[in-house]
A and B are shown apart, each in its own frame.
Chain A
Amino acid sequence: MKTSKLNLSAITITALVLFLAGSISSCGSKSAKEENAEQTEEVEGHHHDSTEAEHHDHAEASDNEGSGSIMWMPSEQPFSGQLKLVEGDAQKLNAATSSDSDGSKVLSLSLSGERALLLFDDTFEDLGSNLQFKTDGFQGQVAIVHHYIDDSNYDYLSLTNTSMQLGRKENGKDKVLNKEENKWPLDWATLTVSSAGEHYKGSLNGKLVNHGHGETRSGGRVGILLEGKGKVMLKMMDVMKLTE
């Protein structure tokens, strides 16, 4: 009886020592994965610096060389970059590139009730995306779509004249993840969406408006969905892969 008690005490002491050893080792050193991630971040930082310079020198519209991020700006020739017109008629949209007062290029699209869908080719799982846009007499919705598989399966953050909404199209059925009342921006605005695990957030001009939850989805394409009547101007869109 005494021996069995001693054995049990020895087991518990061993368990505690192993736990403490595990805690110390996990706190004390960075994992190789974490170090690699930090190195990648540094490389990406340099990568962006160099490509920003390229944007000024040439009219190239986007870049993504496997770094996990894309940045698009309009080129002289509409829809010639990585952001491709997937749905909508380029002629009907009266697509034109002009220069803004700050010198940056702007892609103007005129809609008359139809849908226009622009998508990047690359797919993303956990992602963050910014869209810089402005409207002129526009009635409808401006949306960032992500996890786009097809017209019946995608996630989105949409802004209308009255509200901002995080949603999910699943087999054609629309599911609202979060909806908040919101006013339409009068000037240039930045619409931001993040999809991190089961958490989805939507911001307008840096102010968090939506926070919703949904099951994680496998990777899909990212882009812009416009629907309504009026003029929409697009200045910049970026997409970044999120890592821990």
Chain B
Amino acid sequence: MQNLLPDWAPNVHPMLVHFPIAIIILAVFLDFVYLIWKKDWLRNSVMTLFAFAVLASLVTYLSGRQAVDSVSVPMNAELTASYHADWALYTLLYFSSYTAIRAFLSWKKIEGKRFITILLFLAGLAGCALLAKTADLGGKLVYKYGVGTQKAK
């Protein structure tokens, strides 16, 4: 796996980290569109996107766990790294549960009810706040503390 990476990449984590961010935001956006424009293909797209988002989040979380022990983390960045890992786990667990509930509601054919669709959209939006906190801490690790910008010796 390491051989497939470009020379500048310390590990696979920075390659993967943008996928869950993009997929989750797109899913929540399409969920919003679905509130206004009731189309079955939109609802199915949202469900599929959330399923991919959970998969991408899981792979990214695992790659992050591997990455944190392979790069040099300055002492003053340890707490940020710790919080980043914790928030990443909360985000993964949140969207895993959210997607499971969504799949259950879809299976029971009650997902399309107006009240439920609004509630699901707001819950997705709340999940974006967890995602934003995780991404903010990850960005801080790289751009404030320089973590991952050089290989651990």
Contacts and interface: CB of A to CB of B under 8 A. Distances in A.
Interface of A: 5, 8-9, 11-12, 15-16, 19, 23, 26-27, 41, 126, 128, 192, 194, 196-199, 201, 206, 208, 211, 240, 242-244
A191 to B, nearest CB: 13
Nearest to A206: B153
Contact of A128 (B78, B83, B128, B152): B78
Interface string B79-95: 11111011000000000
Contacts of B75: 128, 192, 194, 240, 242
B82 A197 contact: yes
Interface in B75-123: 75-76, 78-83, 85-86, 114, 118, 121-122
Interface residues of B, number: 26
Contacts of B122: 15
Contacts of A243: 76, 79
B128 A19 contact: yes
Nearest to B126: A19
Contacts of A192: 75
Contact of B114 (A8, A26, A27, A199): A8
B4 to A, nearest CB: 24
23 contacts: A9-B36, A12-B32, A12-B35, A15-B125, A16-B125, A26-B132, A26-B136, A27-B136, A41-B76, A194-B75, A196-B78, A196-B81, A197-B79, A197-B86, A198-B86, A199-B85, A208-B69, A208-B152, A211-B69, A240-B76, A243-B76, A244-B79, A244-B83
A2 to B, nearest CB: 13
Contacts of B81: 196, 199
Contacts of B76: 41, 128, 240, 242-243
Contacts of B32: 12, 16
Contacts of A41: 76
A146 B35 CA distance: 54
A240 B74 CA distance: 12
Interface string B53-82: 000000000000000110010011011111
B100 to A, nearest CB: 23
A128 B78 CA distance: 8
| Nearest 7 A/B pairs, CB to CB | A196-B82, A197-B82, A128-B75, A196-B78, A199-B82, A196-B79, A242-B79
Contacts of A197: 79, 82-83, 86
